[in-house]
A and B are shown apart, each in its own frame.
Chain A
Amino acid sequence: MPKLLPKTIDETQALLAKGDYVAERSLATSLFLSLAMQRPLFLEGEAGVGKTEIAKVLATALDRELIRLQCYEGLDIAQAAYEWNYSRQMIEIRLAEASGEKSKEKLAADIYSEKFLIKRALAKALEGHSPVLLIDELDRTDEPFEAYLLEVLSDWQITIPETGTLRAKEPPLVVITSNRTREIHDAVKRRCFYHWVDYPDAKRELEILRRKAPKASAALSKEVVAFVQRLRKSDLFKLPGVAETIDWANCLVALDRVALDPETVNNTLGVLLKYRDDLERVAGEEAARLVGEAKAAAAA
């Protein structure tokens, strides 16, 4: 039996914390509202700030099934919602012929019964005890698919022309994420609660590291966070996300470092920065300067 939904914002925050997700008050509020009012939660933000993680943590913490729909360009109904099992249908037609079935209507009704329906993520999410439905990176798909989602997100139903309507008894908990590589249509956003997931501040990032990279010493974590926070203030093409911070801390642990030094930073900078221009800009003097600043800040 899945756990009950949180009843207050505090409970929501605690629920996420239990799943090692350090959430801001604003995020907890949006999430709480979306759960309480049965509306999808629309999360937008840069890559690596923990949007997908929210859905995963939610599913684990509430003990519900996580159904993930990874979006991509050209995603269509057959891959996202449902598909008919054509080969079985063909066989069924032949069998009907062999047994001398004459009624067209009966044949059609048989062919399009539920046993020939292959349910994909969206259709699956409409059955069962409100699973968590994660629609990941919605911006990667195209407008026609967004339009198709409208029916699912507002009425919790899918219309199948051959049979009728698939309706959810218990609506799923929906989390939609977008990297904002394009604007999602207002019609989708209007049905959701919107939250912009930002980079965490130093305090929260330190807390995240404490949970996600527990092997890193407190001193090292402090320096790592101070360094990354400073890096995010510089003029880079792609700022490092939280995921990168965690990776970097774990890398430093794997290299048996207990404190930052310019050489190690230079050698491991590729974990934080993934563009050549950015690397060129930071490696060397700039990195050394940032290390100095970060150490001073961590010591303070």
Chain B
Amino acid sequence: MNQGRLPENVVHFTRLLRAAGLRIGPDRAIDAVRALEIAGAHRREDWYWTMSAVLLSREQQRPIFDQAFNIFWRDPKLAERMMSLMLPKAHGRAPKPEEQQSQRLTDALYHQKNQSEKEQERIELEARLTFSSREVLQRMDFDTMSAAELTEARRMLSELRLPLPVIRTRRFEKKISGIRIDLRKTLQESLRKGGDVIPLVRAAPRELHPPLVVLCDISGSMNPYSRMFLHFLHAITNDRDRVSVFVFGTRLTNITRQLRHRDVDVAMTRVAEAIKDWSGGTRIGGSLREFNYKWARRVLGQNACVLLVSDGLDRDAGEGLAGEMERLSKSCRFLVWLNPLLRYEKFEARPAGVRAMLPFVDLFLPVHNLKSLVDLAKAINGPMVRTRQEMRQWT
């Protein structure tokens, strides 16, 4: 390969990997170029191992790297054209999904399309968020998840501030308008200035987001939403501390550990393995009971907030649900119910399950698509709410 083109190609390649979700900074790209020069990699194998040594930081990233490597370096011209010219025609020459190319990589390759095409993607995504009989799969194929969905979920998350309350801790932090004087800091400052002047250093109670516990319904009626929520939950789990995620259909599964994996593909695969009752019926009462008995005392400490994602359609017709909801509501600080059915303007709390649950929630919000969440975030621009009363004003 022409030496002059090498840096350019490496940069393209790292951009491809980055778009596919690997964390590779420009420093790595520079390292890669230098490493290739030093290694003098003339054989494809050397080339591969040099790149992998520089660009990978964990073994789990290798599958993605392998696929990207094979596509990109098999025919650099093809890849080059894909990345730089972004010709839609290049689509025809790309390996078909049958060749086991992950959806994420495909999307990463064709990412930089023009604006109108992006719009089309958006519409496609919206369309997926409606009830559809085609998606009645017992086990979801997580491999077909698209990078558009991913980036959208991430973008949403970066804009999204859920209207969750902050709690005041008993710890203090330095603050100019603080209510208390930090004597230790004051003394230190004073001594630094020779002890003549005593500048007051003030402190105020530190405010924190409380632990977040998500209970997500993955029954058949929730199917169109739960997949997107899982992405969303993956982002939240990796974004903030103290998040626990449970999913339930006919039984409760704790998927916090599975979601902790930074790579969304790996996380989703693990989640799929962990969930046994995907797209089945719902036993909300039974699942909440299981949560209350087995987990509530372990994860609801320290003023936790609970986010319940469900449509409230219960197979057991709300039997025993009220009692469990009451207990859940009483053992957490805030209980927020996100319901996708609320999109319909004529939504009435008619199903027995919904009626049983409604009296115990602090906040009842629609979440049928990305837009509703983003709109919600925009609407709630004010200061964080602190009490149940303040929260109820949103309903």
Write the residues of chain A forming the contact surface with B, with a CB cutoff of 8 angstroms: 72-76, 78, 84, 86, 89-90, 93, 96-97, 104, 107-108, 111, 139-140, 142-144, 162, 179-183, 237, 277
User: Is B187 a contact partner of A89 (Cβ separation < 8 A)?
Assistant: yes
Contacts of B196 in A (CB 8 A): 97
CB contact list, B144-170 vs A, under 8 A = 169-170
User: Is A180 a contact partner of B187 (Cβ separation < 8 A)?
Assistant: no
User: Is A140 a contact partner of B301 (Cβ separation < 8 A)?
Assistant: yes
B115 to A: closest C-beta gap in Å: 44
- A76 to B302 Cα, complex, angstroms: 16
Contacts of A180 in B (CB 8 A): 297-298
Among the listed A73, A86, A96, A179, which residue makes an inter-chain contact with B170, where contact means beta carbons less than 8 Å apart?
A: A73
B366 at the interface (CB under 8 A from A): no
B194 at the interface (CB under 8 A from A): yes
B195 at the interface (CB under 8 A from A): yes
Among the listed A73, A108, A179, which residue makes an inter-chain contact with B169, where contact means beta carbons less than 8 Å apart?
A: A73
In the complex where A74-B169, A181-B297 touch, is A108 in contact with B191 (Cβ < 8 A)? yes
- The 8 A CB mask of B179-190 against A (1 = contact, 0 = none) is 000011011101
User: Is A93 a contact partner of B190 (Cβ separation < 8 A)?
Assistant: yes
In the complex where A86-B184, A86-B187, A143-B241 touch, is A182 in contact with B298 (Cβ < 8 A)? yes
**B183 to A, closest residue via Cβ:** A86
- A82 to B31 Cα, complex, angstroms: 48
User: Is A181 a contact partner of B194 (Cβ separation < 8 A)?
Assistant: no
- A170 to B191 Cα, complex, angstroms: 34
B238 at the interface (CB under 8 A from A): no
User: Is A237 a contact partner of B292 (Cβ separation < 8 A)?
Assistant: yes
User: Is B301 a contact partner of A96 (Cβ separation < 8 A)?
Assistant: no
- A277 to B320 Cα, complex, angstroms: 12
**B188 to A, closest residue via Cβ:** A162
Among the listed B184, B191, B241, B299, which residue makes an inter-chain contact with A104, where contact means beta carbons less than 8 Å apart?
A: B191
User: Is B187 a contact partner of A107 (Cβ separation < 8 A)?
Assistant: no
- A211 to B112 Cα, complex, angstroms: 77
The 3 A-B pairs with the shortest beta carbon distances in the complex, nearest first, are A74-B170, A181-B301, A86-B183
Contacts of B299 in A (CB 8 A): 182
User: Is A73 a contact partner of B298 (Cβ separation < 8 A)?
Assistant: no
- A139 to B242 Cα, complex, angstroms: 13
The interface centre, meaning the residue of A142, A179, A237 with most chain B CB atoms within 10 A of its CB, is A142
User: Is B298 a contact partner of A237 (Cβ separation < 8 A)?
Assistant: no
- A75 to B302 Cα, complex, angstroms: 13
In the complex where A86-B183, A142-B302, A181-B301 touch, is A76 in contact with B195 (Cβ < 8 A)? no
**B326 to A, closest residue via Cβ:** A277
B206 to A: closest C-beta gap in Å: 9
- A111 to B299 Cα, complex, angstroms: 44
User: Is A104 a contact partner of B194 (Cβ separation < 8 A)?
Assistant: yes
- A90 to B181 Cα, complex, angstroms: 14
- A181 to B296 Cα, complex, angstroms: 8
Known pairs A86-B183, A139-B301, A180-B297 / 15 extra A-B pairs, C-beta < 8 Å:
A72-B170, A73-B169, A86-B186, A86-B187, A89-B187, A93-B191, A104-B194, A104-B195, A107-B195, A162-B188, A180-B298, A181-B298, A181-B301, A182-B211, A182-B302
Among the listed A75, A96, A162, which residue makes an inter-chain contact with B195, where contact means beta carbons less than 8 Å apart?
A: A96
Q: What are 10 pairs between A and B in contact, CB < 8 Å?
A: A72-B170, A73-B169, A78-B184, A84-B183, A93-B195, A97-B195, A104-B191, A111-B187, A143-B241, A182-B211
Contacts of B131 in A (CB 8 A): none
Contacts of A72 in B (CB 8 A): 170
User: Is A107 a contact partner of B302 (Cβ separation < 8 A)?
Assistant: no
- A213 to B184 Cα, complex, angstroms: 50
- A181 to B187 Cα, complex, angstroms: 38
In the complex where A84-B184, A86-B183 touch, is A107 in contact with B301 (Cβ < 8 A)? no
A223 to B: closest C-beta gap in Å: 28
B323 at the interface (CB under 8 A from A): yes
- A107 to B188 Cα, complex, angstroms: 12
